[in-house]
Amino acid sequence: MNSRQPSSPDRGGIGFALAAYGFWGITPIYFKWIEAVPAGEVLAHRIVWSVLTLVVWVSVLGRWNRLVPVLREPRLVLALSVSALMLSINSFVFIWAVQQARLVEASLGYYINPLVAVFLGLMFLGERLRPLQWGALGLAAAGVVNELVAFGEVPWIALALAFSFSLYGLVRKLVNVDSSVGLLVETVILLPFALLFGAHLLFEGVLVFGAQSLELDVALMLAGAVTCFPLVCFAAAAQRLPLTTLGFFQYVGPSLNLVLAVFAFGEPFRDSQWLTFSAIWIGLVIFSLDGLYHHRRLKLARGRGS
């Protein structure tokens, strides 16, 4: 696999990026389809069927030789256990939010996510922020405070999604593991808990799988493909696109989530939320333009140096 960072976008990379983020943007439709199943059981199915899907995928790629070195390193297994926990929290909160008609707040979390990632880089990686990046973070914080003041409660769904996914990204950044192999290890770590939870539901007589309809059972079995397809597309896009270009596509997902929430699912969009989202959107524009400007300056400097 070519690990060299791509220097310019290509059509294939853009297609993969749109497929990944576009698919993430419409996954609420899938979760609405299976909303008769409690969020905990849906998460368990995502884990179980993702393991099977990833076993096939890793076999197709012929990457089993990359798995053994990971399993032999307790440090890597521990790190992937932490990332698996963050990923499961993120998945559960998102599924629950869709089922509870709180997708608007969930979309806010994924808008905040890039800025939270920058904050974590500052805290844990010793990265320094430029003045405009501080301004973008300040606007995001102002948006969260506005929700707190206007609605009277902390937007915990948005914060839980933003911090869990950013922490997941931080751990995976610190751990040099092949993306598909790492995801397989993460899901295998979670597999015993998913199976135990499923057994508990079966013992209690509340397991939905196999108890209602064949259509619902098939839908739950698709959870593995729904989980893995965008991740595979994302990995392919990351190989073909510069990170700055790929970063712009991350707003496609929450934008589609927001459109679905308001226009398809009929969720309310309060007046106060216009101010909240506006602060976040302006912050993201500032953050993105600042990143693009400095990326181009660095690229020009490297070109002159060569």
Angle between helices 103-124 and 156-174 (to 10 degrees): 40
What is the rounded distance in angstroms from the CA atom of residue 260 to the CA atom of residue 257?
Answer: 5
Range from 137-141, 171-175, 192-196, 270-274 that averages highest in pLDDT: 192-196
Q: Phi/psi of residue 126, each to 5°?
A: 70, 20
Give the pair of three-digit tokens for residue 290: 């600042």
DSSP H helices, the chain, are 11-33, 39-61, 67-71, 74-99, 103-124, 131-151, 156-174, 179-204, 214-221, 223-240, 243-249, 252-259, 271-305
Place of tokens 């998102």: 94
Per-residue pLDDT at 154: 79
Q: Is the pLDDT of residue 243 over 60?
A: no
Closest CA to 24 of 180, 160, 228, 241: 228
User: What digits encode the pLDDT tens for the residues 168-215?
Assistant: 888 887 887 887 888 899 999 999 999 999 999 999 999 999 888 899
What does pTM read for this prediction? Answer: 0.84
What is the rounded distance in angstroms from the CA atom of residue 29 to the CA atom of residue 32?
Answer: 5
State what percent of residues in the chain have pLDDT above 90: 44
Place of tokens 């927001």: 258
**Domains in the chain: boundaries:** 11-305
pLDDT band at 305 (very low <50, low <70, confident <90, very high): low
